[in-house]
Amino acid sequence: MYDNFFKLALEEAKKVKNDIPVCAVITKDNELISIAVNKKEETNKTTAHAEILAIEEANKKLNSWRLEGCEMFVTLEPCPMCAWAVINSRIEQLYFGSYDVKYGAIESAINLVKLANSKLKVKGGIYEKECDKLLKDYFENLRNERKA
């Protein structure tokens, strides 16, 4: 059901070099609508998270701020900013990989879905080990670069 799009998100996240390797994919009726990766470092924009960029691209493509009937596949549990954007965009289903115990705003640190009384359907832990490894490797490499 979600394998192909989640694998696409994971593969695109692996290509991210100078930012936290996160990718978000939005689909509708099993068709790819948008795909984006984190670009905070590249753009020097605080809000250039994968989820925000994917939502903006989907808004343009569908010519609507309402993304009803859409699904999002993201490699990391959304932070509060991104979670609120997902909820307010009216995306129907969210699939995510790694849980973010510090900043996750869907199930981990806080639950904005419940707070907003949202109808967003959520499934976390998709390809969790692969997503966790990608993030762990990135931060390990970052620490090693800073030591050198």
Residues involved in catalysis: 51
* Cα–Cα distance, 27 to 56 (Å, whole number): 13
DSSP secondary structure of 74-134: EEE---HHHHHHHHHHT-SEEEEEE--TTT-TTTTS--HHHHTT---EEE--TTHHHHHHH
SS3 (DSSP) at 38: coil
Q: Say if residues 10 and 97 touch (Cβ distance below 8 Å).
A: yes
Q: Say if residues 26 and 91 touch (Cβ distance below 8 Å).
A: yes
